[in-house]
Amino acid sequence: MLGYTLEKKGNTGILSIEGNLTLQSTARLHTLLGQALANGSSRVIVDFHDVRTADVNLFQVLCHANRKATDLGKQITIRGELPDPLGSLVSVAGSDILGSCTMCPRDSCVWKCCVTKP
């Protein structure tokens, strides 16, 4: 089950997620990120502190939301550590993510916070 809180502090929306981020919760997370971007915030912080597990579907959802945010002149950032196994995957694939992805400008990549740059 996916739980969440969505709050706004000034121009920043804070989306705190809890539970399991898996294929079954992808659509709900996509909707929540869209709501966070639409609520007038120029920046959305996604907090994964209380997420127990996540799978590779989170890559696609966050990348899509980040491209939308960039197109709108907004920013998505990640707060807290990514849950395993996703955190380990991002760590291992880090330089490949930043080096080969052409979907977002490198400076706006949502994963830049989670990757040790070479």
Locate the domains of the chain by residue range.
2-114
Other CB atoms within 10 A of residue 22 CB: 15
Residue 118 pLDDT level (bands cut at 50, 70, 90):
very low
d(CA 6, CA 14) in angstroms, rounded, equals: 6
Given a cut of 70, whether residue 73 has pLDDT beyond it is yes
33-50 core/surface letters (b: 16 or more CB in 10 A; e: else): beebbeeebebbbbbbee
d(CA 116, CA 94) in angstroms, rounded, equals: 7
- Average the pLDDT over 43-71 and give the result: 86
Residue 97 pLDDT level (bands cut at 50, 70, 90):
low
Given a cut of 80, whether residue 9 has pLDDT beyond it is yes
Q: Which CATH number fits domain 2-114: 3.90.320.10, 3.30.750.24, 3.40.50.300, 1.10.150.170?
A: 3.30.750.24
